[in-house]
Amino acid sequence: MKILLMARTAALSALLLSIAGASAAQPVPLTLPDASPKASVSQTVGLTEITIAYHRPGVNARKIWGALVPYNEVWRAGANENTTISFSSPVTVGGKTLAAGTYGLHMIPAEGDWTVILSTVSYAWGSFSYDPKEDAVRLTVKPEPAELEERLSYAFENLTDKSVQAVLRWEKLAVHFPIEVDTPSVVLASIRSELRGLPRFSWQGWNQAAAYSLRNNINLEEALAWADRSISLNENFTNLRTKAGLLEKKGDAKAAAALRDRSMKIATEADINLHGYQLMNADKMDEAIAMFRKNVKDYPGSWNVYDSLGEAYERKGEKKLAIENYSKALSMVRDDDNKKRISGVLARLKA
């Protein structure tokens, strides 16, 4: 028994020594707040997602430019590991097209113009292993004076459907660089992909694809095929008008007019009402009023047609006719929410 006890004690001692040795060899650090917290900022341009991931050092009463961040040396444009910028589809930076993916973001600060660098390597620690042979693009930018920014930050400004400016702000400087996206090409690629899935089984998907091309005056031949596919699934006011617009863009005004006439013969109250609002939002007031008047003639039992006509007259500044049609709508409507809304409009017009 004594021998067995001694053996167990020796084994336990060996286990404890082994654990202690492992702990000494591989210390496990605690998770504590980072002096330069991690952050990210994203922006969608068209369908393209752009994300910058970085760490945010503080000024902390230090001299930043030319001191903490030396001039004329590659800088990680943040703190800790590589600052990165990601694109979900191809973009143009500094006049060069870049493939979708993630890039390391570096800068070379200077007393004059700065250099912004996007590197094909995005997984390094800072800029310590930076190699110019791995540059995807370099561009020269001019920093601008800015309000004090205690912690380094990135943002996206001057957004359009096809471009945006990324901006770094820290201390009293702002550094912008432009990013451009061929949004129509990205959207068309997305449309073609989506039409391989569930949207291909409904007329709406094909019509949306054709209508996008029509609005942007691009890809008209393929868009006509999309419109025809939509019409083959369910001929209606909407897709006939889309095809008419495409034919008109291609110079066939006669065929376009014939399709518009055909669309009017099968239009529903909702079709005409929506079309009227589209015309009104395009500041084609007389055409919009003509559509709403047609609905009043065709659907005299609907309070909504008078409400829409009243709104069009109000937008045009014809107060008397607006009051007349709103009053007719109020006399017919049944739900309390619309009664309250129309009563409020009438009170304002009569004031």
**What would the DSSP string read from start to end of 321-339?**
HHHHHHHHHHHH--SHHHH
Residues 196 and 109 grouped into a single domain? no
Alpha helix segments (H runs only) across 195-268 = 203-216, 220-233, 237-249, 253-266
Name the domain boundary from 129, 154, 180: 180
The verdict on residue 28 lying in a domain is no
**Residue 176 shares a structural domain with residue 191:** no
CATH code of the domain containing 189: 1.25.40.10
Q: Do both 93 and 174 map to the same domain?
A: yes
242 belongs to a structural domain:
yes
pLDDT on residue 135:
96
Whether 11 maps to a domain, the answer reads no
Is 105 contained in some domain?
Answer: yes
* Domain assignment present for 238: yes
Residue 212 lies in a domain: yes
* pLDDT value of residue 3: 46
Q: Are residues 204 and 283 in the same domain?
A: no
* Mean pLDDT for back-to-back runs of 10 residues, the chain (351 residues): 48 50 70 93 98 97 96 96 96 96 98 97 92 96 96 98 98 97 97 97 98 96 98 97 97 97 95 95 94 95 95 94 94 95 94 89
Say if residue 206 is in the same domain as residue 174: no
Q: Do 238 and 227 share a structural domain? A: yes
In whole angstroms, how far apart are CA 200 and each of 221, 238, 280, 297? 18, 17, 31, 37
| Model confidence pLDDT, tens digit, residues 55-67 | 999 999 999 999 9
Output the pLDDT for position 26: 76
For residues 146 and 60, state if they share a domain: yes
State residue 16's pLDDT score: 46
Q: At what angle do helices 203-216 and 220-233 cross, to 10 degrees?
A: 150
Q: Judge if 231 and 331 occupy the same domain.
A: no
Whether 7 is in a domain gets the answer: no
Domain boundary among 180, 206, 224: 180
The CA distance from 164 to 43, in Å, is 9
Verify that 148 and 68 share a domain, yes or no.
yes
- Domain boundary, last residue among 210, 244, 266: 266
Closest CA to 169 of 61, 81, 67, 59: 59
Per-residue pLDDT at 218: 96
Please return the burial class of 164, using the count of CB atoms within 10 Å of its CB with bins 0-12, 13-18 and 19+.
buried
Residue 319 placed within a domain: yes
Q: Which domain holds residue 164?
A: 38-180
CA dihedral 263, 269, 275, 278 (to 10 degrees): -170
Residue 50 shares a structural domain with residue 156: yes
Domain count, the chain: 3
74 & 158 share domain: yes
Q: At what angle do helices 303-316 and 336-350 cross, to 10 degrees?
A: 30
Cross-strand pairs, 96:
93
pLDDT at 140: 97
Whether residue 255 is found in the same domain as residue 297: no
